[in-house]
């Protein structure tokens, strides 16, 4: 069966990503950065020779380090390189970065404030076909208590490129959730992200749709549908989960009939929790709904089936947003 028939990205395909695929953005940006700076190196635990990073390896074979299936080692090696003046990228499977290597990320990279960028690829439900072990839906929860670590989530390829470039420029520890294989364009050009700032994608007056990663894609598409039916929605891309722009959330919440959070993450400790916490700290009473993944057993299937099951669809966002807009 072809990848397309499955409706999912095949991480182990040894072909180069087609233009417009998320891997294409990662590979192109790595090459771009490596041409600009001689301190860019790529480390991957036996997942480098796939579509996202193969173009970089072909262009810069001497700047690629394969650690084999040893995720923990790959992160501590990156820390050693960073402590010696390099700007390493660690590219790995989302399910095996934060959950398996939380301690290396914390003790070796975050606490030491070292400029390592983690690319969490095939995150969220992207590998949900392979089993519960492959759901990467608690990484934000695992990482957000770690000092100095910026946590970001790319809604599309343009966002991914901007986040990767911003991370290298900042020289701080950065974890980026790569765009979902099912994400589509949110940004027409390169978004100009400010570290830790919410990014307003569309302005409206009735409801506020708050997304991150695939959630932002769904919110942007839902806003267009809502507009046609007379509901005006603000769309906010929380590209940064940490630092978290609670002020913008509170400001928008004061003027809206309700907030809807959409995330491809466990809602008990991800974006929905961050939003609720911001509202509480800001003393803002607001009606809030969330679409995301439940804290319990998750189904195993190809990503689109899983997204349908858990309401991570444009239709489900539209329906919930409409209910919020019409709530008396």
Partner 1 sequence: MSQKSKPPYSMKDLRHRAEWIRLETIRQIAGAGLGHYSSTLSAAEILAVLYYRTLRLDPKRPDWPNRDRFLLGKGHIAVGLWPILADLGYFPTAWLDDFGKIDSPLTDHPSMRDVPGIDFSAGSIGHNLSVGVGMCLASRFRGGSGRTFVLLGDGELHEGQLWEAAMSAPHYRLGNLIAIVDANGSSADGPTSDVMNIEPIAGRFEAFGWRTVEVDGHDVDRLVEIFDGLPDSTTPVPTAIVARTLKGKGISFMEAAPRDWHLGFLGPADRKRAEDEIRSRMQ
The residues binding partner 1 (CB under 8 A) are 41, 62-63, 65, 67-68, 70, 72-73, 75-86, 88, 103-104, 107-108, 111-113
Residue with smaller CB distance to partner 1, 103 or 247: 103
Residue placing its CB nearer to partner 1 in the complex, 65 or 300: 65
**Min CB(44)–partner 1 separation in Å:** 13
Tokens of 252: 């928008």
Quick one: 174 or 209, whose CB is closer to partner 1?
A: 174
Instruction: Name the nearest CA neighbour of 321 among 236, 247, 196.
Output: 236
Q: Give me the least distance between CB of 270 and partner 1, in Å please.
A: 26
Angle between helix 71-82 and 94-103 (nearest 10): 70
Residue in 82, 77, 86 with CA at minimum distance from that of residue 37: 86
- H-state helical runs in the chain: 3-6, 22-36, 54-59, 71-82, 94-103, 139-143, 157-170, 214-228, 246-254, 271-282, 303-309, 314-326
Closest CA to 241 of 186, 199, 202: 199
Let me know if 131 is exposed, middle or buried by CB neighbors in 10 A (0-12, 13-18, 19+). Answer: exposed
Helix (H) or strand (E) holding 85: none
Measured from the CB atom, the residue of 87 and 265 that comes closer to partner 1 is 87
CB of 125 to partner 1, least distance (A): 29
Report, in Å, the least distance between residue 75 CB and partner 1: 8
B/e letters for 51-76, b = 16+ CB within 10 Å, e = fewer, are bbbbbbbeebeebbbbbeeebbebbb
Q: How far is the CB of 261 from partner 1 (least distance, A)?
A: 34
Q: Are 244 and 235 in contact (CB under 8 A)?
A: no
Q: Is 8 or 77 the residue whose CB approaches partner 1 more closely?
A: 77
Cβ nearer to partner 1, comparing 38 with 192: 38
Cis before 174 (ω within 30)? no
For residue 130, what is the DSSP state? G
Distance of closest approach, residue 71 Cβ to partner 1, in angstroms: 9
Q: How far is the CB of 65 from partner 1 (least distance, A)?
A: 7
CB of 170 to partner 1, least distance (A): 17
Closest residue by Cα to residue 191 from 235, 159, 150: 159
CB-nearer residue toward partner 1: 148 or 165:
148
- Return the number of the residue (84 or 328) whose C-beta is nearest partner 1: 84
Of residues 43 and 159, the one with the C-beta less far from partner 1: 43
Provide, rounded to whole angstroms, the least separation between the CB of residue 243 and partner 1.
20
Run of H or E residues at 237: strand 233-237
CA 161 to chain centroid, in Å, comes to 12
CA triple 283-208-214, angle to 5 deg? 115
């Amino acid at each position: 069966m072809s990848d397309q028939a499955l409706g999912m990205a095949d991480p182990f395909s040894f072909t180069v990503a087609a233009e417009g695929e998320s891997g294409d953005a990662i590979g192109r940006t790595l090459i771009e950065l490596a041409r600009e700076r001689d301190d860019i190196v790529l480390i991957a635990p036996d997942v480098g020779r796939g579509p996202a990073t193969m173009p970089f390896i072909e262009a810069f074979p001497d700047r690629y380090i394969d650690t084999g299936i040893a995720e923990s080692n790959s992160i501590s090696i990156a820390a050693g390189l960073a402590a010696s003046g390099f700007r390493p990228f660690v590219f790995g499977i989302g399910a095996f970065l934060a959950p398996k290597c939380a301690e290396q990320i914390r003790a070796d990279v975050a606490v030491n404030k070292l400029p390592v960028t983690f690319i969490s690829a095939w995150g969220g439900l992207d590998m949900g076909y392979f089993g519960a072990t492959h759901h990467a839906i608690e990484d934000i929860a695992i990482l957000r208590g770690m000092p100095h670590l910026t946590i970001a989530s790319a809604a599309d390829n343009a966002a991914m490129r901007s986040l990767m470039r911003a991370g290298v420029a900042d020289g701080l520890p950065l974890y980026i959730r790569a765009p979902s294989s099912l994400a589509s364009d949110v940004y027409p050009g390169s978004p100009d992200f400010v570290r830790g700032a919410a990014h307003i994608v569309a302005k409206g007056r009735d409801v506020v749709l708050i997304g991150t990663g695939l959630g932002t894609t769904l919110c942007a598409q839902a806003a267009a549908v809502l507009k046609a039916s007379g509901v005006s929605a603000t769309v906010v891309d929380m590209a940064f989960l940490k630092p978290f722009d609670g002020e913008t959330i509170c400001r928008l919440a004061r003027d809206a009939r309700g907030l809807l959070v959409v995330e491809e993450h466990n809602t008990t400790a991800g974006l929905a929790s961050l939003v609720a916490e911001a509202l509480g700290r800001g003393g803002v009473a607001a009606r809030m709904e969330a679409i995301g993944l439940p804290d319990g057993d998750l189904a195993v299937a190809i990503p689109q089936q899983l997204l349908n099951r858990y309401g991570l669809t444009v239709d489900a966002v539209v329906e919930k947003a409409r209910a919020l807009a019409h709530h008396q």
